Amino acid sequence: MERYAMEQDPDARWLARVMHIAFFLLLGASLVRFLLRHPWEDRSPWIVALSGALAALYLLGPVLGTRATPRRIAWLFTVVAVWMVLVVLAPSFAWCAVPLFYTGLRTLPPRAALVLVTLLTVFVVTAQVQLSNGGFDPNLIVAPPAVAAIATAVFVHAQRQAERQRALIDDLIRTRRELAAIERREGTLAERQRLSMEIHDTLAQGLSSQQMLLQAAERTWDTDPSTARRHVRTAESIAERNLAEARRFVHDLAPADLAEGGGLEEALRMLAGRESAVFRVDGVPVTLPERVQSALVRIAQGALANVREHAAATSAALTLTYLDDQVVLDIADDGRGFDAGAGSRAGRAGGERGVRGHGLPAMRVRAQQLGGTLTVESTPGEGTVLSAAIPLSTPLEAGA
């Protein structure tokens, strides 16, 4: 896999082309040097033929790839064998070993490649000593091993760097995939939570109201038919409104009350009218983001549904207050109330299940998603005040 990655690396391919060009230049220069230094003699035809054979063999290398396949290894040792014969016949061909260093390192496993480099270096030193005509020159002994060591060290270092980079890239790709999977899971959970809150604030509350109205109609059907029919008509109206709400939250649209126009104040006024509650606005109204308006309408729907189903209240009031830095929605009733302290403890222990239904956790989540808070003040027998405070500069706006 690593050698296949090297084949695909543009830098590795560029270096291979440079080495190929260098080999043919060195081979051609060595042949010209031999012919200039040694006019045509008995061994000249062999030198020319072997040079041509070596060039032809070397051209087959790129066709066989760089992986250590049996054919590639056989090709490499054939090239080395022909080169050795050339060096024995004409030592000037010794410097063709430098590109062969690279070819061996790129093809063979590390230990086998080092053995091959050592063998090539010995041949180069021997050839240089022969060219010195018997005179001792330390450079002829030291230079070839030094060049071989440098070439090997540079190649091994570059290979290890490439492997580290590939490992880093693999880690980054794996991390991106994990993050994408986490984001998908979080998105799924967020959408599930959104649908849960929407269903609770619309369909569930509406179905609960319809059930109560139909039960009341059934009880009074014989004794007070007009009242029973009024309950049925009210249940029908709630069903129609729930159908509209269902269609809207499936498409992640604003509540139907907001969609009908008039803004947040008119939507809350319509909602309060349906629930026989009083609505009041304090402060100077400002234009709020759609998500803030939707959240406040949903909170009001949930709070008034709790009043209707649990509080047994005779009156309720909605107050929308615009302050300098936040907008506050208060929903107050004079119903039976409950122990708000016990509700908070239950919320910390179990997500507020069982405390005035599922509505309070959903309302609190809506407020927190916008950087706001939801507080509940209630005492048994003294009613309840629910307050949702949303900053005018929400996290959504700050991020934008």
Which mean pLDDT values do the consecutive 10-residue runs of the chain (400 residues) have? 48 77 88 85 88 89 75 88 88 83 82 85 79 64 78 78 85 89 81 70 74 87 88 84 70 62 85 89 90 89 84 91 94 88 48 50 87 92 92 58
CB atoms within 10 A of CB 49: 10
Q: Which residue has the tokens 């109206």?
A: 237
pLDDT value of residue 320 = 95
Half-sphere exposure of 326 (CA within 13 A, CB side): 16
Tokens of 317: 């009031």
Tokens of 117: 């480099």
pLDDT value of residue 362 = 82
Classify domain 263-400 at the CATH topology level: Heat Shock Protein 90 (3.30.565)
pLDDT value of residue 131 = 67
The residue extents of the domains of the chain are 2-136, 263-400
3-state secondary structure of 157: helix
pLDDT value of residue 308 = 80
pLDDT value of residue 261 = 63
Among the listed residues 284, 285, 296, the one whose alpha carbon sits nearest the alpha carbon of residue 258 = 296
What is the model's pTM?
0.46
pLDDT value of residue 135 = 60
- The pLDDT tens digits for 28-75 are 998 888 888 888 888 889 999 999 999 998 888 877 776 778 888 888
Sheet holding 316-322, edge to edge: 278-282, 316-322, 326-333, 384-391, 373-378
d(CA 207, CA 235): 9
Q: Is the dihedral of CA 28, 34, 37, 42 positive or negative?
A: negative
Among the listed residues 313, 312, 311, 317, the one whose alpha carbon sits nearest the alpha carbon of residue 330 = 317
Asked if 330 and 319 touch (Cβ cutoff 8 Å), the reply is yes
Q: Per residue in 266-291, is it b (16+ CB within 10 Å) or e — as a string?
A: ebbbbbbeebebebeeeeeeeebeeb
pLDDT value of residue 15 = 75
Distance between start and end Cα atoms, the chain:
45
pLDDT value of residue 347 = 43
Which residues are CB-contacts of 199 (< 8 A; sequence separation ≥ 6)? 249
Give the dihedral of Cα atoms 208, 214, 218, 221; nearest 10 deg.
Answer: 150
Q: Which helix (H) or strand (E) holds 382?
A: none
d(CA 65, CA 62): 5
Q: Which helix (H) or strand (E) holds 325?
A: none
